[in-house]
Amino acid sequence: MEFHKSGKVYDFMSIRKYWITFSIVLALVSAVLLWKPGPRFGIDFLGGTELTIQFAGPVDAGALRRSLERMGHERPEVVPTLRRNEFILRIEKSTTIAQRDVDRFRRAVTERLQREGGGRTLPEFKLSPGGDHLIVQFAGGSPSAEEVAQLLNDAGAPVRGAVALPIGARDDLRWQVPLRGIGDEVFSRLTGPREAGGMGVRGTLSASVWVSPKAGRELRDAAILAVLYSIVFIMIYVALRFDLRFAPGGILALFHDALVTLGFFVVTRKEVTISTVAAILTVVGYSMNDTVIVYDRIRENLARRKGIRMLEVINVSVSEMLSRTILTSLTVVLSVSAFAVIGTGVIRDFAWAMIVGVIAGTYSSIYVAAPLTEWIDSRYFHTGTPAPEPRQGPSASAAKT
C-alpha cells in the first residue's frame, strides 16, 4: 500500500533545522520538568496501598475521595473501573503501625512473659518492612502458634487470624505474625455507616496490594537501571551494526524518545509505575527498530548511488520508506488507542506512553537520527561530496561569447 506516488522524492532535509530546534526545545523542557516538579510516582515506587472494592449499591467517587481524606489520607486516588460500582483506591500509606506501637507491643508481651515465669525473653521483635506482619523470636522456650498469636492480640497488636507462622530453623523459635493492614481498616470504615464517615453501603474487597517505601525505592532504582542497561546494549548493537556515522544518531534518538515520553507523563501528571517503565522499554525497542530500517535503506542507497550527497541520499531513502513508516506507526497507534480511551488504571497509562513514544520515535528517526548522521558525514567523512562548480573567470566568459 502506497500513500504517495511511487518514485517521488520529498525534500525532508530542507526543513530539518525547524524540526531539530523543536526536538531540542522539547527535550530540554522534558529534562527540566523531570527535575522540577518531577515525575508523579505511583505506589510501585513510593510505597502505599491499592484496594479494589465493589460496593453493593451506587457510590459517588467524589464522596468516596472525601471520606478517605477525612480518614487522614492525603491525595487519595479513586478510579472507577468498568464494573458497576467498583473502584480502585490508592493511598500513600502501607501500614498503620508506627515504631512506637511496636515498642508498646513488645513491652506488653515482655511483661506478660515475666509474670508467667519460665525465663522466656524476646531477642527479636520487629515490624516487617511492609508493615503487614511482626517477626517475633523467643529464647528459653516458645509458646505454640496459637499462643503466640494470642499473646500479641492481648498486647493490642492488630493480629490477623488466630495462628502465627513459624519461620527459619525449628530451633530458632521465630514466628511471623500476620497483621491486619491498612487496607482492612479502610475497607471496614468505608463500608460502615455514614455517621462514622463511611458510605453506608456494603461491599466486597476484591484485592488489596501494598508496597513498602523501602521496596518502592528499590523498584524505582531497578527500573532506572533497566532503562539504562537497555540503552547501553542497544548502543553496542548499533556500533557493531553500523559505522561511526550512524551510531550517534541512533543513540541520540533513543534518549530523545525516552525523555519526551517521561516529559509527557510529568505534564499530564500521570503516575509513573512499573507499567510505564515497560512502555518506555517498548518504545525504545520500537524506535531503534524504525531507525535501523531507515539506516539500512540509507546505507543501501549510498552503495548504489555513488557521488550523491548524503543529504540527497537521506531524502531518497526516507521517501522510499515513507509508506512503510506510516503504516507501521499508524497500526501501533490505532491498536493501543482503544486502551487509551476505554482502559482503566495502568492499562490506560501504558497505552498513552506507547502512543506518545511511537509518534516521537517515528519523527526522531527522520529528524533526529538522520540529520546527525548527515552532519557527521559532511564534517568528518565527506562521503558523496559533489565536485565543486567551475569558477567564472575571464576564460569562461570568453568561451560563452
Residue 91 shares a structural domain with residue 199: yes
Residue 220 shares a structural domain with residue 353: yes
How far is 35 from 26, CA to CA, in rounded Å? 14
Identify the pLDDT of residue 4: 56
Total-model pTM: 0.70
Please, where are the H alpha helices in 175-309? 182-190, 213-241, 247-268, 274-304
Predicted confidence band of residue 392 (pLDDT cuts 50, 70, 90) = very low
Predicted confidence band of residue 384 (pLDDT cuts 50, 70, 90) = very low
Q: Domain boundary at 191, 211, 231, which?
A: 211
Mean pLDDT of 71-97: 80
Q: Is residue 396 part of a domain?
A: no
How far is 78 from 198, CA to CA, in rounded Å? 15
How far is 395 from 17, CA to CA, in rounded Å? 39
197's CB contacts (< 8 A; 6+ apart) are 67, 70, 71, 189
Q: Is residue 245 part of a domain?
A: yes
Domain of 354, CATH number, reads 1.20.1640.10
Q: Which residues pair with 167 in a beta bridge?
A: 174
Q: Is residue 345 part of a domain?
A: yes
Identify the pLDDT of residue 32: 93
Polymer length in residues for the chain = 401
Q: Is residue 23 part of a domain?
A: yes
Three-state DSSP at 164 gives coil
Residue 231 shares a structural domain with residue 346: yes
Residue 151 shares a structural domain with residue 268: no
Q: Is residue 172 part of a domain?
A: yes
How far is 140 from 119, CA to CA, in rounded Å? 6
Residue 170 shares a structural domain with residue 265: no
Residue 88 shares a structural domain with residue 128: no
Identify the pLDDT of residue 264: 93
pLDDT tens for 98-147 read 788 889 999 999 998 888 887 888 889 988 766 678 899 998 888 888 88
Domain of 71, CATH number, reads 3.30.70.100
> Which grid coordinates are listed for 235?
548502543
Q: Is residue 246 part of a domain?
A: yes
Mean pLDDT of 11-23: 91
* Domain extent at residue 163: 102-177
In the predicted model, is pLDDT for residue 389 greater than 60?
no
**What percent of the chain has a predicted confidence (pLDDT) above 70?**
91
Count of helix runs (H) and strand runs (E) in the chain: 13, 10
Q: Tell me how far the alpha carbon of residue 204 is from its chain's centroid.
A: 29
Q: Is residue 281 part of a domain?
A: yes
Residue 110 shares a structural domain with residue 133: yes
143's CB contacts (< 8 A; 6+ apart) are 151
Number of separate domains in the chain: 3
> Which grid coordinates are listed for 92?
500513600
More confident residue, 382 or 226: 226
In the predicted model, is pLDDT for residue 396 greater than 50?
no
Q: How is residue 194 annotated by DSSP? A: G
Predicted confidence band of residue 261 (pLDDT cuts 50, 70, 90) = very high
Among 270, 298, 291, which Cα is nearest to 355's? 270
Identify the pLDDT of residue 6: 65
Residue 222 shares a structural domain with residue 328: yes
Identify the pLDDT of residue 88: 85
**What percent of the chain has a predicted confidence (pLDDT) above 90?**
13
Please, where are the H alpha helices in 36-176? 43-46, 61-70, 99-116, 145-154
Residue 21 shares a structural domain with residue 109: no
Residue 68 shares a structural domain with residue 112: no
Terminus-to-terminus CA distance in the chain, angstroms? 53
Residue 54 shares a structural domain with residue 195: yes
More confident residue, 388 or 39: 39
Q: Is residue 400 part of a domain?
A: no
Q: Tell me how far the alpha carbon of residue 77 is from its chain's centroid.
A: 18
Identify the pLDDT of residue 212: 67
Residue 266 shares a structural domain with residue 226: yes
